[in-house]
């Protein structure tokens, strides 16, 4: 009985700490900051749009609590990677 009680206490503490510390993940340190540039952020979908300076390919990165860090390649209507076009 004593082992079960100690196990439950340890599990409860671990889950509690994980819940408290989950918000400490900082997404603004995306991979190599010299390579990826943040273009935009959509708060209603918790999505950050970035592009790779070397290839100009655009990506969407999720910042939602349930799938934070998911990276999605953005494509055009033909399925080719969407390339960033600099405006002057």
Helix (H) or strand (E) holding 10: helix 2-21
What the block records as the tokens of 22 is: 């989950």
81 and 75 in contact (C-beta within 8 Å)? yes
pLDDT digits (tens, 9 = 90+) for 35-69: 888 888 888 788 889 999 889 999 999 888 888 88
- Cα–Cα distance, 14 to 79 (Å, whole number): 44
The per-residue pLDDT for 10 is 85
Nearest to 53 by CA among 75, 73, 71, 35: 35
> What is the pLDDT of the chain when averaged over all its residues?
80
Residues 17-31 have a mean pLDDT of 57
The per-residue pLDDT for 80 is 92
- Cα–Cα distance, 10 to 13 (Å, whole number): 5
- Within 10 Å of residue 51's Cβ, how many Cβ atoms? 21
More confident residue, 66 or 18: 66
The per-residue pLDDT for 44 is 78
The per-residue pLDDT for 27 is 47
């Amino acid at each position: 009985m004593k082992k079960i009680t100690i196990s439950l206490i340890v599990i409860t503490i671990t889950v509690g700490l994980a819940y408290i510390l989950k918000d400490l993940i900082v997404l603004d340190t995306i991979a190599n900051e010299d390579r990826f540039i943040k273009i935009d952020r959509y708060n209603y979908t918790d999505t950050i749009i970035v592009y790779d300076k070397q290839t100009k390919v655009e990506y969407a990165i999720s910042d939602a609590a349930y799938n934070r860090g998911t990276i999605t390649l953005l494509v055009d209507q033909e399925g080719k990677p969407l390339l960033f076009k600099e405006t002057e």
